[in-house]
Homo-oligomer: A and B are copies of this chain.
Amino acid sequence: MEARRKNSVNTRGALPASEQFLGDFPLFADLKRNEIKRLARGAVSYELPRGRVLFHRGEACAALHLVVSGQVKLSVQTARGDEKVIELVGAGGSLGEVALLMKQPYIMTAEVIADAGFVELGRDAVLEQLAHNVNFLRCILGEVCRRLNQRTRDLENCLLLNGTQRVAGFLLSQAPANGSTGTLTTITLPTKKSIIASRLNLTHEHFSRILREIQTAGLVEVRGRQIRLLDVVRLRSFPE
């Protein structure tokens, strides 16, 4: 508990730091200044170090969590202890919409994997806004739709792509979306390989082998977490 120091944002000076932050937050892009202001009222900001669990599956949801910085992994537990990573959330992402809206427990566990900063909007404040602010309702609806699409794509990937194809797809998705040829893009894995592997529904051993395989095939060059994409085109249509 000690490390979870929360600061009411409104104790600060003239322009609360996180009112500015909320205004820039992707989820609230369509909100007007005064709507932001009302949302910011119950906001609380805090930081959590790597390894900290933000919430466990099954707990009740008390707030909407906005990720200011750092990185969080969402995962579920296997029968015997080990976990599968479902999603990685970085700065600009949010957690807990559905649990909050549906008034049901979290269905995943959220753990900080890179020291992170959060802004939290209290449950009641959010529900209150939802009840009275149509714009806010629309923001949330859009976000949930986006997430449903994302989840559906993940399910598809898992159903009809093999490991190598999933890795290739992941690497490409990490590359900045440049329309250019990009025959020489270098990407950096967002976290350690074992987590990426789990996210792709692979063991870290298998992930390692796959990286080797596509490196041998001359498609990429791996050095630690830095991966240089040598042949985006062939990577995109793998294996041939």
Q: Interface stretch among A150-158, A170-178, A209-217? A: A150-158
- Distance of A12 from chain B, by nearest CB (Å): 33
Binary per-residue interface labels of chain A (92-120) against chain B in the complex, 1 for a CB within 8 Å, 0 otherwise: 00000010011000011000000000000
The answer to whether A160 and B78 touch across the interface, beta carbons within 8 angstroms, is yes
Chain B residues whose C-beta falls within 8 Å of the C-beta of A159 in the assembled complex:
76, 84, 86, 158, 201
The answer to whether B141 and A101 touch across the interface, beta carbons within 8 angstroms, is yes
Q: List which A106-136 residues lie within 8 A (CB) of chain B.
A: 107-108, 134
- Distance of A206 from chain B, by nearest CB (Å): 14
The answer to whether A76 and B160 touch across the interface, beta carbons within 8 angstroms, is yes
Distance A148 CA – B143 CA, assembled complex (angstroms): 11
Tell me if A149 is interfacial: C-beta within 8 Å of chain B: yes
Chain B residues whose C-beta falls within 8 Å of the C-beta of A144 in the assembled complex:
141, 144-145, 148
Tell me if A79 is interfacial: C-beta within 8 Å of chain B: yes
Tell me if A225 is interfacial: C-beta within 8 Å of chain B: no
The answer to whether B98 and A148 touch across the interface, beta carbons within 8 angstroms, is yes
Chain B residues whose C-beta falls within 8 Å of the C-beta of A62 in the assembled complex:
none
Known contacts A78-B160, A138-B137: does B101 contact A155 (CB below 8 Å)?
no
Considering only CB atoms and an 8 Å cut-off, how many residues of chain A contact the other chain? 32
Tell me if A140 is interfacial: C-beta within 8 Å of chain B: yes
Q: Which are the 9 A-B pairs with shortest beta-carbon distances?
A: A148-B148, A151-B151, A78-B160, A84-B159, A141-B141, A155-B155, A144-B144, A98-B145, A76-B156
From B84, B107, B149, A98 is in contact (CB under 8 Å) with: B149
The answer to whether A86 and B152 touch across the interface, beta carbons within 8 angstroms, is yes
Chain B residues whose C-beta falls within 8 Å of the C-beta of A201 in the assembled complex:
159
Distance A71 CA – B70 CA, assembled complex (angstroms): 45
Closest B residue by C-beta to A102: B145
Tell me if A50 is interfacial: C-beta within 8 Å of chain B: no
- Distance of A168 from chain B, by nearest CB (Å): 13
Chain B residues whose C-beta falls within 8 Å of the C-beta of A151 in the assembled complex:
148, 151-152, 155
Distance A159 CA – B157 CA, assembled complex (angstroms): 12
Distance A84 CA – B63 CA, assembled complex (angstroms): 37
Tell me if A147 is interfacial: C-beta within 8 Å of chain B: yes
- Distance of A29 from chain B, by nearest CB (Å): 15
Closest B residue by C-beta to A141: B141
A-B pairs with beta carbons under 8 Å apart, 12 shown? A86-B152, A101-B141, A101-B142, A137-B141, A140-B141, A141-B144, A144-B148, A151-B152, A151-B155, A155-B155, A158-B159, A159-B201
